[in-house]
Amino acid sequence: MLYENPRGYDHIHDSFAEDIPFWIEVSRRAIADVPGGTVWELGCGSGRVTVPVALAGIPVVGVDAQPEMIDAAGKRAAAAGLDVGNPCFHVGSMEALPEVATQRQTPEGTPVAAAIIPLHSLSHLLEPAAVGACLQGIFRLLAPGGVLALAVHLPDLETLQRDPAALFPLDLGPGILAHEQSRYDAVTQILHCRWWWEVDGEPEEGGPHLHQFDLRMFFPRELETLLTCAGFVVEERWGWYDRTPLTSARGTQIVVARRPLGRP
């Protein structure tokens, strides 16, 4: 599993940094709205986003279900010269945020200004109950006026209807040769994926490596409805991190929603 191998994960994800200014800007606005607030990154992985957010001077807590990823995130923070204390990291599931908050002994007086979920991590919650528990947990975790910002794939029918036996080239950044195969279940809305990748010209890296994972697809109106039912107000929807509008032409949907002031 790729998430047990942070080095492999970083190999195929560290070249992607286009989203980082967006997460910093969303976090900065949120802590301005909620004085003394912190930002939680859910599914923080090896700290690709958490560490730059902390380097921007924003207090941030990274939560991930995979201990190996949390270990790598701590090492990334130390290598960046960050003090112990910001960022903080915690092994835990985004489905079980009340327990995570209790384990962290988050004091009542430390408001959470934002929860950010970059790079499709929410799509790892495959069952409707898990998504519901996660959104309700975030709502309760956030201070009134706090923000939830997340990025997931925009389901694209051409990709979902691909021949499950066929291999397609995959762009994982410079120097990486990669292919993918996928099978979509239209009832569960789960895309079952297999990626094969190897580092071009570096046989000592071994490979090709296989990464198998499942992603729950969220259709745009469905995501809006899920957020609204959990109590959020959807304020922004984007198709890319430079705030390109969300249209059918883009493969990503980015949503910024708020826990309204005054709603229990």
Q: Which residues form the interface with ligand SAM (CB under 6 A)? A: 3, 13, 42-45, 48-49, 63-66, 69, 93-95, 118-121, 124-125
CB of 41 to ligand SAM, least distance (A): 6
Q: For residues 26 and 84, give the distance between their C-alpha atoms in angstroms, rounded to a whole number.
A: 24
CB of 133 to ligand SAM, least distance (A): 10
Both structure tokens of 120: 């499709």
- Tell me the CA distances in angstroms from 241 to 21, 93, 114, one per residue in order: 8, 26, 17
Q: With respect to ligand SAM, which residue has the nearer C-beta, 145 or 214?
A: 214
Q: With respect to ligand SAM, which residue has the nearer C-beta, 145 or 194?
A: 194
Q: For residues 198 and 86, give the distance between their C-alpha atoms in angstroms, rounded to a whole number.
A: 34
CB of 204 to ligand SAM, least distance (A): 25
Q: With respect to ligand SAM, which residue has the nearer C-beta, 71 or 145?
A: 71
Q: With respect to ligand SAM, which residue has the nearer C-beta, 63 or 230?
A: 63
CB of 57 to ligand SAM, least distance (A): 20
CB of 260 to ligand SAM, least distance (A): 25
Other CB atoms within 10 A of residue 118 CB: 25
Q: For residues 170 and 180, give the distance between their C-alpha atoms in angstroms, rounded to a whole number.
A: 6
CB of 241 to ligand SAM, least distance (A): 12
Q: With respect to ligand SAM, which residue has the nearer C-beta, 145 or 192?
A: 192
Give residues with Cβ within 8 angstroms of 116, minimum separation 6. Answer: 23, 26, 27, 39, 40, 41, 42, 49, 53, 148, 149, 150
Q: With respect to ligand SAM, which residue has the nearer C-beta, 177 or 193?
A: 193
Q: For residues 78 and 63, give the distance between their C-alpha atoms in angstroms, rounded to a whole number.
A: 17
Q: How far apart are the first and last CA of the chain?
A: 40
CB of 172 to ligand SAM, least distance (A): 12
- Tell me the CA distances in angstroms from 26 to 129, 140, 166, 211, one per residue in order: 27, 19, 39, 31
Tell me the residue nearest to ligand SAM as measured from the CB: 45
Residue 212 · residue 197 · CB < 8 Å: no
Q: With respect to ligand SAM, which residue has the nearer C-beta, 64 or 198?
A: 64
CB neighbour class for 164 (10 Å; exposed up to 12, middle 13-18, buried from 19) = exposed
